[in-house]
Each structure stands twice: as C-alpha cells, then as structure tokens.
C-alpha cells in the first residue's frame, strides 16, 4: 500500500481573511464529496474558517473551468480548488475531457492570477479512483482532497513570497518601477 510521505506533516497556516472557493463535480459524487470533505478538514487545520470556504457544485468535470473562473474572478476569493473524476471508458472520450479541463483550469489560473488547483482524478478504474480519492481511514491510499488543499496553501504562500521577496534589498539609486529617477 502506497503512503503519503507528508501525511503527518503540519499544515502551513493561512493568513487571516483568506477565502477559498471549491468546485466539486457531481459525477461519482461519493468520491468527489469525500475529496471535498478531506480538503475542508485540511484547510481547517491550516486555519481557514468554515465560512471562508465557498463551495459550488458542478454537473461534471467539463464544467469545472467555467465555474472555477467565476469564483476566481471574485475579489473575495484567493484560490479555487477543483475536484472531479474522469474515468476511462470504452472510447477516448475521457482523454479529451481530462485534457480540456486541465488546459482550461491552467488558463483560468493565468488569467486571474490566482491558484486554481487541479484535483481531477483521471483513472482507469473505479477501484483506482477510490484508492486515490479516499483518506486512509476510509480505505484509500492517496487522499487527493488533502493533497489539493495542501497545494492551495503552499501556492498562496509561494505567491506571497514571490510578491514580497527581495523588495527591501533594492540598491540605492535604483527604483523598482514606475518612478522616474530624480
């Protein structure tokens, strides 16, 4: 059984006032709901108040990007978690859906300058999906919900560092932009 090497690692803390959105696909709801519940628990461990997690249910994975974009465009949402499951079928339909969703979610993140987390499982079988979606106490081996929540917290922390790192170290006489030399 595979184990998550970070299962017992302490969660990073979110800044007060952080608000997150979550879009949860309705296909295979028992698994996507389990991923959401695990993500919500991890976010609470990171300091997020229950009222600061806004959830919107989507019909399926294909609709995740549009709904995620709407949430990401909100001024009061700092990041969006997208949770879904695309299972392999008899045709190549799953590949097209998974690729389209992944590409579109990346575009939403780049267009809105906010983390948009890809918590969409792309599995061959329902058994593989259960192993990846469920926490260990429910028979899973991966816990994708917790992983996506941790990635959201880490991405927000990294963006904060990218925005502030080194600003105080500008050499005398150089400006960081916008102002003309005097």
Beta bridge partner(s), residue 1: none
Q: How many angstroms from the chain centroid is the CA of residue 167?
A: 28
Q: How many CB atoms lie within 10 A of CB 60?
A: 16
Q: Is 142 a catalytic residue?
A: no
Is the CB of residue 160 less than 8 Å from the CB of residue 124?
A: no
Q: How many CB atoms lie within 10 A of CB 2?
A: 9
Nearest to 152 by CA among 81, 75, 89: 81
Nearest to 65 by CA among 53, 73, 77, 54: 73
In a 3-state reduction of DSSP, which class is residue 99? helix
Active-site pick, 6, 93, 170, 175: 93
- Put the strands of the sheet holding 20-25 in their side by side order: 53-58, 20-25, 79-87, 116-123
- Residue 76 φ then ψ, to 5°: -95, 10
Active centre residues (catalytic): 93
């Amino acid at each position: 059984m595979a184990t998550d090497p970070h299962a017992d690692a302490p969660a990073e803390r979110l800044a007060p006032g952080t608000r997150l959105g979550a879009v949860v696909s309705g296909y295979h709801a028992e698994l996507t709901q389990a991923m959401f519940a695990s993500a919500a628990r991890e976010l609470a461990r990171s300091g997020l108040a229950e009222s600061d997690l806004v959830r919107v249910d989507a019909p399926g994975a294909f609709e995740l990007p549009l709904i995620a974009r709407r949430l990401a465009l909100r001024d009061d949402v700092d990041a969006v978690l997208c949770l879904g499951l695309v299972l392999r079928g008899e045709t190549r339909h799953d590949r097209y859906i998974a690729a389209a969703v992944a590409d579109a979610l990346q575009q939403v993140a780049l267009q809105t300058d906010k983390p948009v987390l890809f918590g969409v499982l792309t599995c061959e079988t329902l058994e593989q999906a259960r192993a990846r979606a469920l926490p260990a106490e429910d028979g899973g081996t991966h816990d994708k919900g917790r992983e996506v929540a941790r990635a959201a917290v880490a991405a927000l922390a990294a963006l904060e560092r990218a925005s502030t790192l080194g600003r105080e170290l500008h050499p005398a006489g150089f400006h960081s932009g916008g102002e003309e030399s005097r």
